[in-house]
Structure 1
Amino acid sequence: MGTIMGVYLPCLQNIFGVIFFIRLAWIIGTAGIVQAFFIVFLCCSVTFLTSISLSAIATNGVVPGGGPYYMISRNLGPELGGAVGVLFFLGTTVAASMYITGAVEIFLLYILPKAQYFENMYHNFRLFGTGLLCMLGLIVFAGVKVVNKFALPVVIAVIVCIICTFAGVFWKANGSESLQFCMVGDRPVNLVGFKEKFGYEPECTAEGLREAFCQNDENGTMLCDPYYLRYKTSKRFSIKKRPAITGLLNGSFFDNLWSKHLIPGEVLTKGNKNKEPKPLPHSLYVYSDSTTSFMKLIGVFFPSVTGIMAGSNRSGNLRDASRSIPLGTLGAQLTSSFICKIIIYFGYGN
């Protein structure tokens, strides 16, 4: 195999994994565009330096089969090579589990929710994940040639998805009314929780959401959420549906510049959470279920930029490994880093 099929495309395929597609939007929405840029920059810088080191080792003589383990053990000693080999094996195993779980999540939550067999979502992950793992195991067991036949269509699908992301930015530059959510002032309403609690989906009006924010206490006195009461009659921030896709031309880019880190139990809000009244316990807003910070988001995103070893793993199947590994690995790393940074500004800035 040459540089493109043997190194560049496999690396690109591994780098653009599930985190890139199903977690990057959440990372940018939480960290803001400014912090998200530095998260991507730091993670990509680590893999870029690693790619340079790998390239230096790959060009230091002939590279036969054995991949990174062989190159490191022959250049830096068998002790270091063995330690890296064990870590690389464990990392690849965990990464495979992460990719399978992400694929099952996309399938069950977005593509075909009716396929859920158990009420407990974790049991569904185990069932479908085991089946997918068996399928992938059979493909890998068949050999490198069969893996390459499956790899090319998958890479094409990934590239088409990325192109669609950029196309959608300009196609829906003015926003879209096809997807909407209910807002009370600057706070989204948990309509899913409302339907589970009361058995129907309410109208996004002050009267329709009354049960979600007003409740009788032990003495029979009606208590209403103070934030709900403030915007019940407000003319500036009314209770209404708003488009989820606002578009790049409607100022959302500047609204998403800064971070919105939360701790468990805090209300998701677009305004200043410190100056707004705290919600009553029964209020059906959208609450944070996890603590986020700059370093934690780096930990979530970093696996998305790994995968640069995919090409060097096939050193035994390359025509000229000493040439293909540096060119393909660095090319894939730079390409993915560029696309990630562009998507932060144009793909998820709207």
Structure 2
Amino acid sequence: MPSKELREEAEASKFGFFGGVFTPSLLTILGVIMFLRLSNVVGYAGLWNALLILLFAKAISVITALSISSIATNMRVQGGGAYYLISRSLGVEFGGVIAIFFYIAQAIAVTMYVAGFTEAILSALPGLGLSYTMIATITNVIVFIFVFIGAGWTIRFQYGILAILMLSIVSFFVGAFQDFSPELLRSNLVPAWTPDYSFFTVFALFFPAVTGIMAGVNMSGDLKDPERAIPLGTFASIGFSTLIYAAIAFLLAGSVSRNALVGDGFVMRDQALFPVLIYAGVISATLSSALGSMMGAPRILQAFARDNIFKRLRWFAKGSGKSNEPRRAVILTFLIAQVGVFAGDLNTIAPIITMFFLLTYGTVNLACFYEGRSKNPSFRPTFRFNHWSVAFLGALSCLGVMFLINPIWAVIALILSGGLYFLIARSEIQVKWGDVDGGLSFQVARKALLRLEREKYHPKNWRPSVLVLGGGVGSRLYLTQYACWFTVDSGMVSIAQIIQGELEDLHTRRYEAENILRKFILKERLPAFPVAIVEKDIHAGVKSLLQCHGIGGMRPNAILLGWSKDSEKEEVFYDTLYTAKNMKRSLIIIASKMNEEKVFIPRGAINIWWNSAKNVELMLLLAFMLRNNREWRDHSIRILRPVAPKADVDNIEKEMQDLLVQARIDAEIVIMPTDKPFEAVRRSMTPSAILFAGFEPVEDDEEEGESKETTAEKSSEDTLIETLHRTVDLPGDVVLVYNAGEVSVKA
């Protein structure tokens, strides 16, 4: 742990809102577009439309700043800027995409600003005698040295740049005011569109001028009070730069002719009182933007590396000095920028850099939208001047601007981002922070459950919700696997463990057992939920589960358990069957050839023993769900129906075919006239992967009150239970099914 003196010294070296946020943001916003392109915007769009373009572009900046402020004042902001804000809200996948692409964009942006600086130097000093590559390399090295020494030196240097920039703007204001003409102003109020320059084309030309609000956010780890500095510095830079842009546009419209505005000349230099100051302004603007990007990009990479998303980047996590400077990441950023310098013309990749900036702004707005829309109680920003609907509008606006600027590059950026998102998602990286995904999922689930509660049940909407009574972790894994096969992404599986004893004595063990179940589910990649309860005996535990587990329409509608040859468990086993029946739950009993630890797919057909009209519909549906699994797709479904020797076979087959047509299930029908149903099924089922058979759990008092006819109908089912010990020796697995009555394959 660092000493108190070291912590205080590190804290004292950090910056406030003016030096840490306002200055780098303003210097990035007031860039080369203000000097070289704003005159074209006014010339083609006219003053009114130019101000409208400025208003629209700044509106997107303001909305994004609102989102930034909301998220930044809802958490303890650390280093990493946009990456930190997004990853802690939308999760590691979105954060990882933004970290990588925003870092690359800012690293290459250093090259662009260095190139702009070099062109300004060559224009101001044509006889310098140095090549473009030489000047750009020297500039890149100087920027690198300033940033490598530390952010403190860079921020102090930027104060000087800001002073020069303000002097150049004042020089233009004074010169343009002297040439101001109301007649010129009136003539430049309306647009002069051409086939190449429409409203949206000019908007796309101007918009990069307002994409500098992240320069201060990227310094989040170097701020004394980021929760205060980020909102104050960001809004101050937006407001101040808006006034400057509006004033420049007004003076351009009132002091320069239309032909000069749309020409190739350096209009602001020509109108300035001291033209040399405009050169100094351009040089300062490009140099400050290069410094801002060289400072911000390494801090994003350092924060990303510290989260250990990609282990190969971990080397860049280490900081240097008392202020934890990301010098390793600075070196990489310098090298990327230098490669760009040697590459020369960057016009081909400039659009995608802007796309990545816009992706970042749009994702920040998306994060704020999700946080607000999910009504997460943990989302309590101290900055309250925002609403989720405004953030959503900002996200849509950023997406729209991407396509306005360049549709092809917009699509490329989205595809690259999507690919990286799924790459990170497939890695299933476990992080130590929460994100909005959990809160949003809860909100969606809540609304869905309330809707289910209000809707009247219909068999068409039946889905298997299976409660597995399988014992402890790993006990008879095949039971859970069968439950997952029967639900096949369409239902719910809960794995239950009943701990015998008193809750007062075993509540800690119950908590640990549920956690062990949860880890087991994650390890085996099972789409299931854990539940552990404490009761005085197994039967009482089953009753508690059937009464209380689940919520609303998501309660278990089927109980799945394994067959046991243990005679000591027979009473509990049958009590469980009777309780489930009385509580209107379907039953699935599995006798499998699989061992406790290994699950495999048996070979042969999926056989259904039609021994009960009541249960056959659930058996058909379970067989259909089973076959929908990739592992079972090559298994055919076969219905085995023993009938009396003199039964009308043709009519019975027709009825079965009609049922299959209505059920929309493909199956082979095998009708067997016999007076020994069990032996007939034994002969006809081979080869068999699994055999479904219906049964009816009947208590003694129920049998006494039933008619002889009903008892005769159940004789084959009762025989099945009595002779189950013989059936488990048959090839394949055996599944006994009782339908509680909610299923209809005709729905």
Give me the TM-score of the superposition, normalised by structure 2: 0.31
TM-superposed deviation, 1:58: 0.4
For residues 129 and 184 of structure 2, the distance between their equivalents in structure 1, rounded to whole angstroms, comes to: 35
> Deviation digits for residues 100-135 of structure 1, max 9, x if unmatched?
2222222222x1122365xxxxxx544432332222
Aligned partner of 1:93 in structure 2 is: 107
- Which of 125, 128, 135 is the aligned partner of 1:115? 128
Letter in 2 for 1:141: F
**How many Å separate the matches in 2 of 1:294 and 1:115?**
40
The question of 1:305 aligning with 2:318 is answered: no
User: Does 1:251 find its partner at 2:183?
Assistant: yes
| Structure 1 residue 13: Cα displacement | 1.0
Residue 55, structure 1, aligned to residue 62, structure 2: no
Q: Post-superposition shift, 1:92?
A: 1.6
How far has the Cα of 1:329 moved from its partner? 0.5
1:65 deviates by 1.7
1:315 to 201, 207, 220: 220
- Tell me, in whole angstroms, the C-alpha distance in 1 between the residues paired with 2:134 and 2:33: 21
Partner of 2:25: 11
Instruction: Work out the percentage of aligned pairs sharing the same amino acid.
Output: 35
Q: Give the conservation status (yes or no) of the 8 Å contact 1:37–1:341.
A: yes
TM-fit CA distance, 1:56: 0.6
Pairwise mapping of residues 2-81 of structure 1 onto structure 2 (< 5 A)? 2-81=16-95
Structure-2 residue corresponding to 1:147: 154
Contact persistence 1:166–1:347 (CA under 8 A): no
Change (3 A) 1:23 1:112: same
Contact 1:248 1:346 in 2 (8 A): yes
2:171 equivalent in structure 1 = 164
Residues 306 and 116 of structure 1, relative CA distance in 2, 3 Å threshold? farther
Question: Please, which of 114, 136, 143 is the counterpart of residue 143 of structure 2?
Answer: 136
**Preserved CA contact (<8 Å) 2:16 2:224:** yes
Residue 348 of structure 1: CA displacement? Answer: 4.3
Provide the rounded CA distance (Å) in 2 between the counterparts of 1:69 and 1:58. Answer: 12
CA contact (8 A) 1:3 1:325 kept: yes
Q: How many Å apart are 1:318 and its aligned residue?
A: 0.9
For residues 57 and 108 of structure 2, the distance between their equivalents in structure 1, rounded to whole angstroms, comes to 19
Task: Specify whether residues 68 and 8 from structure 1 end up closer, same or farther in structure 2 by C-alpha distance, changes over 3 A only.
Answer: same
Deviations 1:194-250 (A, max 9, x none): xxxxxxxxxxxxxxxxxxxxxxxxxxxxxxxxxxxxxxxxxxxxxxxxxxxxx2225
| d(CA) in 2 for partners of 1:249, 1:57 | 47
Deviation at 1:260, TM superposition (A): 2.8
Q: Distance in 2 between matches of 1:79 and 1:335?
A: 35
Cα deviation, residue 347, structure 1: 4.1
The 8 Å contact of residues 108 and 116 in structure 1, kept in 2 or not, is answered as no
Larger deviation: 99-108 or 67-76? Answer: 99-108
Per-residue deviation, residues 318-339 of structure 1 (Å, max 9, x unmatched): 1111011011111111111122
The aligned counterpart of 2:574 is: none
Q: Identify if the C-alpha distance between structure 1 residues 125 and 258 changes in structure 2 by more than 3 Å, giving closer, same or farther.
A: farther
Structure 2: runs of 5+ lacking an equivalent: 1-14, 256-747
**C-alpha contact 2:182 2:254 (8 A) present in aligned 1:** no
Partner SS for 1:248:
coil
CA–CA separation in structure 2 for the residues paired with 1:35 and 1:116 = 43
Runs of 4+ deviating beyond 3 Å: 124-127
Assess if the C-alpha contact under 8 Å between 1:139 and 1:147 holds in 2: yes
Out of 245, 250, 255, which is 1:340 matched to?
245
How far apart in 2 are the matches of 1:260 and 1:96? 35
Name the stretch that deviates more: 46-55 or 296-305: 296-305
CA distance in 2, matches of 1:262, 1:105: 28
Maintained 8 Å contact 1:6/1:318: yes
Q: Match of 1:317, as an amino acid?
A: D
SS of equivalent to 2:78: coil
Q: Indicate the residue corresponding to 2:547 in structure 1.
A: none
- C-alpha RMSD of matched pairs (Å): 1.9
- 1:293 positional shift: 2.6
Say whether the 8 Å CA contact 2:189–2:253 is kept in structure 1.
Answer: no
* Distance in 1 (alpha carbons) for counterparts of 2:253 and 2:134: 33
Q: Aligned letter for 1:113?
A: P
Whole-Å separation in 1 of the counterparts to 2:16 and 2:33: 28
Rounded to whole Å, the distance in 1 between the matches of 2:165 and 2:207 is 19
Task: Provide the secondary structure at the position in 1 that maps to 2:191.
Answer: coil
Paired amino acid for 1:164: S
Cα shift at 1:62: 0.9
Distance in 2 (CA, whole Å) between partners of 1:253 and 1:25 is 13
CA distance change for structure 1 residues 103 and 8 in 2, over 3 Å: closer, same or farther? same
Aligned residue number for residue 496 of structure 2 = none
Look up the equivalent residue of 1:256 and give its one-letter code: N
Question: Would the aligned equivalents of 1:18 and 1:103 in 2 still touch at CA under 8 Å?
Answer: no
Higher relative contact order (CA 8 A, sep 6+): 1
Counterparts of 1:28 and 1:101, CA distance in 2 = 25
CA contact (8 A) 1:17 1:99 kept: no
Following the alignment from structure 1 to structure 2, what is the Cα–Cα distance between the partners of residues 108 and 15? 23
Q: 1:298 to 1:94 in 2, by over 3 A?
A: farther
Q: 1:102 to 1:259 in 2, by over 3 A?
A: farther
Deviation per CA, 1:15-47: give whole Å up to 9, x if none: 111111121112212222122112211111111
| Conserved 8 A contact 1:14-1:310 | yes
